[in-house]
Structures are given as C-alpha cells and as structure tokens.
C-alpha cells in the first residue's frame, strides 16, 4: 500500500523518552515531508540518536505516537533502512564487505532461504554505487573509516527502502567520502523520490544541501527549511552560544 503523496515520511507527536529519570526527549513533535533530504541537528546529548531509535521502535518510550510513511513504526519496518552509528560494531568480526551488504537483503529473503540471483544483483549494484565493488572480499576491519561507512550505506541501499535513516554518517569520515555520499543521497532523492533523514553536526552542509531540518535540544526548537531553522536566534536557544563560523562572521556576531 503506497501512502498518499502528502503523508509525511516521519510523523511524531508528543514523544517523551527518559533515561535514568531524566528526559532525553520531551514532548517532541516531528513532521518530515516525503521526498526530502532532511537533517536533525543539535548539540551533544540533545537526543538526536534517541529520536531515530525511538522512531524505529528500538527504545522504550514514555509516551508518544509515531508513524513512518503513514504506518506505525513496527509495521513500516520493511520500508525503512537504518544506518546506525558505528560505535557498537565489532570490527574484528570475521565478515566480509559483501556479507555485510548481503544483510540488507535478509528482510526480503528471510532467515533461512538461499540468496537468489536477484538478491546477488542488488548487492552487486549497491556495492558499485558506493565504489566498494573491488573490495567485496575484504574483511570489514581492514578498511578505512570512510570505506567502512560506504559499506554500511551500501547495505542500506540493498534494502531498497523508501526511507533512509542515518545516524551521524559522516563522523570520522574523510572529506572525499563525505562528498561522494552526499552526492549519492541527493541522487536518491532526485531520481528515486526517496526520503532521507540524517543526524548531522555540520551546520554549513545542512544549510547548503538539505531541504528540511529539525533543530533539537531535548525539545524541538525549530523545524522547516534550513535557512528558516538555522537562524542565529534559534541556534542561540539550542546551543547556548552561537557556534563560531562563517555565518557568525557574516552576521557580525560573536560566540557567547
């Protein structure tokens, strides 16, 4: 069932998540439109990763209604590809690049059936798109940070999902990879009409390349087009002090 075109990619109402008695997310509303390249930004500890996890049903919530592409998050799982932060991955695990990308087909193929030719082709295509074709047989730990991230993005591609959710995909990644991945994400939006939301820390890139942004610090501060969201006023409310950078120089204001 394809949802209507005006159904948002992510719709969250009154989401509250606590950890150790403290709210990490507090009465958060999010409405991200479909077919957009969206970013969630905010200072450390603002709940960005938790928001993604809650949206996907991975953390228990205290309250809140969540809809992904018009359906409750557990039902919509098949249409979402999640690229988590790379912290908890075991790099010494005996697994090759190809095997990691194959995991993207597991939901389709199931947990017991063999990979069909179609699946293998999808995997090959995903590997090519991220430029990791020649590295298919390497063990995952032998790659650089940027190469690893490409592999996980290939896995997301292999899932053939309408919504891609990436948590800090550019952390610890070299500039070349960042540009390549951004270009890929733009192509996915433009040519394939997919929705993409990433947690990102670089406000410049967000303002330049993204359609939609959510500025978050436990509570949502602003959402909408990046230029409307990332105003000095809003940034001050989110970060406490405005981050020093070109924007600050242009606006003639100082940090703090």
Residues of this chain that bind other proteins (CB under 8 A): 16, 18, 20-21, 27, 53, 56, 58, 62-63, 74, 77, 80, 82-85, 88-90, 92-96, 99-100, 103, 106-107, 111-112, 130-135, 139, 144, 146-147, 150, 155, 175-177, 180
37 vs 101, which CB is nearer to other proteins? 101
140 vs 213, which CB is nearer to other proteins? 140
175 vs 250, which CB is nearer to other proteins? 175
Q: What angle do CA 85, 139, 118 make, to 5 degrees?
A: 85
Q: What distance separates the 2 farthest-apart alpha carbons in the chain?
A: 62
Cβ proximity of 7 and 69 under 8 Å:
yes
Question: Measuring CA to CA, how many Å separate 26 from each of 40, 46, 54, 125?
Answer: 16, 10, 12, 41
What six digits make up the tokens of 34? 């479909």
Smallest separation (angstroms) from other proteins to the CB of 93: 5
The residue behind tokens 């030719």 is 117
Smallest separation (angstroms) from other proteins to the CB of 94: 5
What six digits make up the tokens of 190? 């433009």
122 vs 130, which CB is nearer to other proteins? 130
Smallest separation (angstroms) from other proteins to the CB of 29: 14
Smallest separation (angstroms) from other proteins to the CB of 252: 31
Strand partners of residue 23: 18
Q: What angle do CA 230, 153, 198 make, to 5 degrees?
A: 15
- What are the residues whose beta carbons fall under 8 Å from the beta carbon of 206, sequence distance 6 or more? 39, 41, 200, 213, 226, 230
115 vs 248, which CB is nearer to other proteins? 115
The pair phi, psi for residue 152, each rounded to 5°, is: -70, -30
Strand partners of residue 26: none
Would you mind telling me the total number of residues written for the chain in this entry? 256
Question: Measuring CA to CA, how many Å separate 210 from each of 40, 55, 216, 253?
Answer: 10, 20, 16, 24
Smallest separation (angstroms) from other proteins to the CB of 20: 7
Smallest separation (angstroms) from other proteins to the CB of 26: 9
46 vs 177, which CB is nearer to other proteins? 177
60 vs 252, which CB is nearer to other proteins? 60
Smallest separation (angstroms) from other proteins to the CB of 195: 16
Give the residue among 46, 36, 105, 104 at the shortest CA–CA distance from 69: 36
The whole-angstrom separation of Cα 236 and Cα 255 is 9
């Amino acid at each position: 069932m394809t949802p209507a075109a005006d159904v948002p990619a992510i719709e969250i109402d009154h989401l509250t998540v606590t950890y150790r008695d403290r709210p990490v997310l507090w009465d958060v509303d999010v409405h991200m439109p479909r077919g957009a390249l969206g970013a969630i930004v905010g200072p450390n500890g603002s709940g960005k990763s938790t928001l993604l996890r809650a949206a996907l049903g991975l953390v228990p919530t205290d309250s809140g209604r969540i809809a992904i592409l018009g359906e409750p998050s557990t039902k919509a799982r098949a249409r979402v590809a999640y690229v988590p932060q790379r912290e908890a991955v075991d790099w010494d695990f005996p697994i090759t690049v190809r095997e990691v990308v194959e995991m993207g087909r597991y939901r389709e193929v199931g947990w017991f059936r063999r990979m069909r030719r179609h699946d293998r082709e999808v995997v090959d295509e995903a590997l090519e798109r991220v430029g990791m074709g020649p590295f298919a047989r390497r063990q995952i730990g032998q790659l650089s940070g940027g190469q690893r991230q490409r592999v996980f993005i290939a896995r997301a591609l292999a899932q053939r999902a309408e919504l891609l959710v990436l948590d800090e995909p550019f952390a610890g990644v070299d500039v070349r990879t960042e540009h390549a991945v951004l270009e890929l994400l733009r192509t996915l939006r433009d040519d394939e009409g997919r929705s993409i939301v990433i947690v990102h820390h670089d406000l410049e890139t967000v303002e330049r390349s993204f359609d939609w942004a959510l500025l978050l610090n436990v509570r949502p501060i602003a959402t909408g087009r990046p230029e409307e969201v990332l105003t000095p006023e809003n940034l001050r409310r989110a970060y406490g002090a405005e981050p020093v950078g070109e924007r600050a120089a242009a606006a003639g204001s100082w940090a703090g």
